[in-house]
């Protein structure tokens, strides 16, 4: 069986993305993408964008912009106050700002 981990989402940015340095020297931009859920409110999905794409691909994006995100799902585990936690997020390989009429 072949495993495929590909995600393509269109939605709106929850906040204006900001590039942040990591201790390793890499740069990351994290934001939530609000994606319409059938018959319900918008579903907020966490997205991480790394290195060159974090610097160049997200520099002109602002809160509320419609965007297309391509990438893959990753599940991270971490400790918080003595307990283990996990988060599933999209690691983006492409972020494209859509024109307002492309999304609406």
| Domain ranges across the chain | 7-97
> What separation in angstroms does the CA of 102 have from each of 10, 30, 83?
10, 24, 43
Taking only the tens place, the pLDDT of each residue in 5-22 is 999 999 999 998 888 898
Bridge partners of 78? 85
Taking only the tens place, the pLDDT of each residue in 29-72 is 999 999 988 777 888 999 999 988 888 878 889 999 999 999 99
The contacts of residue 12 (CB under 8 Å, 6+ apart) are 33, 34, 42, 64, 65, 66, 67, 103
Helices first, then strands: H and E counts in the chain: 2, 6
* CATH topology classification for 7-97: OB fold (Dihydrolipoamide Acetyltransferase, E2P) (2.40.50)
pTM score over 0.85: no
pLDDT exceeds 80 at position 76: yes
Q: Do 33 and 44 contact (CB within 8 A), yes or no?
A: yes
Q: What is the average pLDDT across 79-94? A: 87
């Amino acid at each position: 069986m072949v495993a495929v981990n590909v995600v393509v989402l269109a939605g709106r940015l929850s906040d204006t993305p900001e590039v942040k340095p990591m201790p390793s020297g890499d740069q990351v931009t994290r934001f939530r993408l609000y994606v319409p859920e059938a018959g319900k409110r918008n579903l907020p999905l966490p997205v991480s964008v790394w290195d060159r794409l974090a610097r160049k691909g997200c520099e002109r994006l602002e809160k509320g912009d419609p965007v297309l995100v391509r990438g893959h799902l990753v599940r991270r585990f971490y400790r918080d106050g003595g307990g283990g936690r996990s988060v599933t997020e999209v690691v983006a390989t492409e972020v494209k700002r859509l024109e307002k009429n492309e999304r609406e």
